[in-house]
Amino acid sequence: MTDLRTHMHGLWLPLVTPFRSGRLDEISLRRLTRHYAAQSIDGFILGATSGEGMTLREAELEHLVAIVRDEMATGRRNVPIGLGLSGVDTSRMKERLDETADWPIDFYLIASPYYVRPSQRGIVAHFEALADHAAWPLALYNIPYRCAVGITNQTMLRLAEHPNIVGLKDCGASREQSIALLRDRPKSFRVLTGEDANYFEALGDGADGGILLSAHIETATFAAVYSELKQGNQGAAEAHWQEVAELTRLLFTEPSPAPAKYWLWRTGLIDSPEVRLPMVEVSSELAAALDREIERRVKVAA
């Protein structure tokens, strides 16, 4: 994309990675890509949390990106692709940026270093080193409940000044912090929520969109929430949101992306609900609840 900032808005899908018998399931991946590229989404995120990226080998990750881009080209609809990369070693992360520099992506989504608990000065130095080095733009991923350390607004505003840092996936779990960031950010710095259950609220606060696992299901409804709000139709947007608000809770009842994969398997979009350890497939209790909700939505749509 010539200017990613002009495209970084709306509904983005952090695509699940289908597996079968321990291997990347190319048939299901192509089916998924064709299906969602035809929906009202504005971009894909590949190999991040929802895509079980930390379990993917380098060759698998490259193959994943190539398949998705190839399917979009075949379908004649290309949307931006963000590649999830994370790590605690800045030097090794720079090597990964080099290794992926010629992949058909548009930007990287990079979380702050997990486990090592760096200072804010360390976070600034880490991201500036990566942004200086990367062939593609960077979007920050603030998710302190996974990384142990959050990115403060002061740090994000400083990083937003870097010409190669274009936006943020906001999973900071603090509405107060998010509102302050939206108020103070540069106009060109894009903020998309990654908290599915807070999507409607975040859009109302001024977020540019969302990166939502839940949008694998009822994609058009999630897209309609955004489009109706953009048109000033608050009532219509809220009505659409009420159609999916409970879904965002159900799909996170157990560790993600297992519930979403179960749903996609039961509805025929992927051939197996398989996840990679240490993730496990959904419990029998949740499977039954998901089956009931699938059946209910089929009846409503009929």
pLDDT at 302: 72
Question: Looking at beta carbons, which pairs linking 236-245 to residues 24 or more positions away fall under 8 Å?
Answer: 237/200, 237/203, 238/200, 241/199, 241/200, 243/218, 244/214, 244/217, 244/218, 245/197, 245/200
For residue 275, tell me if it sits in a domain. no
Active-site residues, by number, are: 141, 169
Tokens describing residue 211: 């990166």
- Condensed to tens digits (0 to 9), the pLDDT of residues 36-92 reads 999 999 999 999 999 999 999 999 999 999 999 999 998 778 899 999 998 999 999
Max CA distance (Å), the chain? 56
Count of CB atoms within 10 A of residue 132's CB? 11
* Secondary structure of residue 179 in the 3-state scheme: helix
Asked, for residue 171, whether it belongs to a domain, the answer is yes
- How confident is the model at residue 181, as a pLDDT? 98
Domain count, the chain: 1
Domain region containing 192: 4-240
Are the C-beta atoms of residues 93 and 85 closer than 8 Å to each other?
yes
Tell me, what's the pLDDT at 4? 81
Residue 248 lies in a domain: no
| Residue 123 annotated as part of some ligand binding site | no
Is there a domain that residue 41 lies in?
yes
First vs last Cα of the chain: how many Å apart?
A: 39
User: Is the pLDDT reported for residue 1 higher than 50?
Assistant: no
pLDDT (mean) for 23-41: 97
pLDDT (average), residues 188-208: 97
* Residue 199 located in a structural domain: yes
The pLDDT score that the predictor gives to residue 145 is: 86
What's the pLDDT at 150?
A: 93
Residue 249: pLDDT over 50:
yes
Q: Is the pLDDT of residue 31 over 50?
A: yes
Enter the pTM of the model: 0.96
pLDDT at 2 over 80: no
From 294, 194, 213, 211, select the one nearest 260 (Cα to Cα): 213
Write the CATH number for 116.
Answer: 3.20.20.70
Which tens digits make up the pLDDT trace of 91-136? 999 999 999 999 999 999 999 999 999 999 999 999 999 999 999 9
Does 119 carry a binding-site annotation? Answer: no
Computed over every residue of the chain, the mean pLDDT equals 96
